[in-house]
Amino acid sequence: MPFPMRSFETMPRADVVVIGAGLAGLACAAELAESGARVFLAAKGMATTHWTHGGLDVAAPAGSLTPRVGVRVLAAEAGHPYARVHAEVDGAVEAHRARLGRVGHLLVGSLDSPHTPIPTALGSLRPASILPSAQAAAAAPWADDGLLLIGFAGFRDAWPAYAARNLGAVEWPGGPRRISHAEVVLPGLERLKNLNARSLAVLFDDGAWRAEALGAIRRAVPPGAWRIGLPAVLGIADHARAHADVEEATGHRAFEIPSLPPSVPGVRLFDALRRTILDSGGRVQVGFDVVDVERNGQRIVAVHTEAAARTLRLAADAFVLATGGIGGTGIRGNPDGSLHERVFGLPVEAPPRAAWFSDDPLTPHPLESVGIRVDAELHPLDPAGQVAYENVRVIGSALAGMHYLEQRCGDGVALASAHRAARSLATERLAA
């Protein structure tokens, strides 16, 4: 084309470009912006926050009582991201809690909270220790409370009866003495042609509708001591109040149970973190897909994002790759059995193709540890073990060496690596 394209050279000039808007990218951009750096967060789209349960999985490998112990266990595994960033976990989690707290998004639990089994939408149990306030009651000691699982007629992603029967059959130490279930008819819901978790949450944001809905929910609660498990749809913008209203209307503690995507807890988390970035003067652009990279030796000079009829040039001193692994679409598998990292073409560490999968999809696949190998400062390494780019950091599930599902460590690694990268970059800036 005849003229160079719009370049964010002066307006605004970014110190750091963060690529990817999952938990890691958002946390890193937030911390950088708070520290006074000019941050530009570019993301192809929204993804992992909107698919996941919204709790904070720090580390729950088998045999660990608390996340803190879990981090120690995983940090001892050579090649695990925690081996690099375990020292940051405390600071990262507390910074995350404080940041979210400023925008009214509260977390309950700490690194020393024991892993507590909480019910899933299918009626299984998963370990949790740090949860958003709307889910926190699931992890509190049960004492004499029974568990009442509630679904909404017309909403297809909650299965209270099925879950109740499953939970009655699993080993649940310290669990509720009795489990019951109810399907509640909410005003007008059964007539709706289209209904998913987000549209239901939007309804819960409406105070007038909510009041009617709460009446119906209250009527479904039998006498006795209960704790109520509801679908994770209690509002988006007004969720704190919606959750409080449910507890007040029913007179019982209540907690959300996340189900199939879209994850409303994830949407809230994304919105909250985005807000903190904007409030600290950062820029967030979703729909900015990095399609080209300008390199100069071992430095990345700029990335180009796809725009209409051209690309946009984002120049910066440093770049943070937070594009995720296979799930986040940052790493892609090829027909020939290789894998590639889509933005910088960094070398990807993975088992050979023949060893990618286990036979049972409900068990971990060896391929899940795929990712980019990094040094202590989270610089990506080339196949010879040398730093590939001195002004790039890799964070989050793009990092090699972890089984984030089996070890339930994805969120902790995201936060700790984001924290390490942000601090490292801030130090660099001050030194420069």
Partner 1 sequence: MTFHDAATRDFPLFSTDACIKCNVCNTVCPVSRVTDAFPGPKYVGPQAQRFRGPSGSPRSPDHSVDLCSGCGICTRACPAGVLIAETNNRARAAIVADRGSSIRNRLISDTDLLIRLGSNPLAPLANLGLRSRPLRWIGERVLGIHRRGPLAPFSRRTFGSWWRKRRGATAAPPGADAARTIVYFHGCAVNGFEPDLGRDAVEILERNGFTVIVPRQECCGLPFISNGLYENARRKARANISSLAELARAGYRIVGTSTSCTHALKAEYREMLDLADDDARAVADATWDICELLVDLHDRGELDVELGPIAEPLPYHPPCQLKSHGIGTPAMDLFALVPGLRAVDSDHDCCGAAGTYGLKAERWQIAQDVGAPLFAKVRASGAARAACDSETCRWQIEQSSGVPTVHPITILAESYRRADADRGRTWRRVV
Partner 2 sequence: MTLAAEVDVVVIGGGATGAGVLRDLSMRGLRATLVERGDFASGTSGRYHGLLHSGARYVESDPVSARHCMEENAVLRRIAPGTIEPTGGYFVATPDDPDDYLERFAAACAAAGIEAEPIPLEALFRAEPLLNREIRAAYRVPDAALEPWELVDATLASAREHGAEAHRYRPVVGFERGADGAITAVHTRDARTGETGTIACRAVISAAGAWAGQVAELAGARLKMSPGKGSMLILNRRLTSSVVNRLAPPGDGDILVPVHTVCILGTTDITIDDPDDARVTPDEVDALLADGERLVPGLSGARILRAYSGSRPLYDAAEIEEAAHHEESREISRAHHVIDHRARDGVGGLWSIVGGKLTTYRLMARDVVDAVAAALGNEAPCRTGDEVLPAPAGSSPYWLGDRLAAVEAEGGGDADLVCECELVTRRRLAAALDERADSSLDDLRRTTRLGMGPCQGAFCIPRAAAMLDERRADGRLDPAAPDPNPALRSFAAERFRGTRPIAWGDQLTELWLGAGIMRGTMAADALPDAVVRNDAAG
Interface with partner 1 (CB under 8 A): 1-12, 44-47, 50-51, 192-196, 198-199, 202, 260-262, 267, 278, 283, 285-289, 305-310, 312, 328-329
Cα diameter, the chain: 75
Q: Is the peptide bond before 12 cis (omega within 30 degrees of 0)?
A: yes
The binder of 298, among partner 2, partner 1, none, by C-beta within 5 to 8 A per type, is: none
Q: Which residues bind partner 2 (CB under 8 A)?
A: 48, 51-53, 120-126, 146, 148, 154, 156-157, 159, 161-162, 164-166, 168-170, 178-182, 192-196, 258-261, 263, 325-327, 329, 332-335, 337, 356-357, 359-363, 365, 368, 405-406
CA 349, distance to chain mean position in Å, is 23
Judged by beta carbon, residue 358 or residue 386, the one nearer partner 2 is 358
Q: Smallest gap, in angstroms, from Cβ of residue 181 to partner 2?
A: 5
In order, the DSSP letters of 29-51 are HHHHHHTT--EEEEESS--GGGT
Judged by beta carbon, residue 109 or residue 328, the one nearer partner 1 is 328
Judged by beta carbon, residue 47 or residue 150, the one nearer partner 1 is 47
Judged by beta carbon, residue 310 or residue 332, the one nearer partner 2 is 332
Q: Smallest gap, in angstroms, from Cβ of residue 209 to partner 1?
A: 12
Q: Smallest gap, in angstroms, from Cβ of residue 51 to partner 2?
A: 6
Judged by beta carbon, residue 219 or residue 295, the one nearer partner 2 is 219
CB atoms within 10 A of CB 35: 17
Please give the Cα distance from 416 to 407 (Å, whole number). Answer: 16
Closest CA to 261 of 214, 217, 185, 327: 327
The binder of 101, among partner 2, partner 1, none, by C-beta within 5 to 8 A per type, is: none
> Up-side HSE of residue 67: CA atoms within 13 Å toward CB?
27
CB within 8 Å of 29: residues ≥ 6 apart:
16, 18, 39, 41, 277, 282, 284, 320
The 10 Å CB-count burial string (b at 16+, else e) for 191-228 is eeeebebbebbbbbbeeebbeebbebbeebbeeeebbb
**Token couple for 83:** 């081996």
**Token couple for 28:** 């890193």
The binder of 52, among partner 2, partner 1, none, by C-beta within 5 to 8 A per type, is: partner 2
Q: Smallest gap, in angstroms, from Cβ of residue 116 to partner 2?
A: 13
The binder of 6, among partner 2, partner 1, none, by C-beta within 5 to 8 A per type, is: partner 1
Judged by beta carbon, residue 189 or residue 257, the one nearer partner 1 is 189
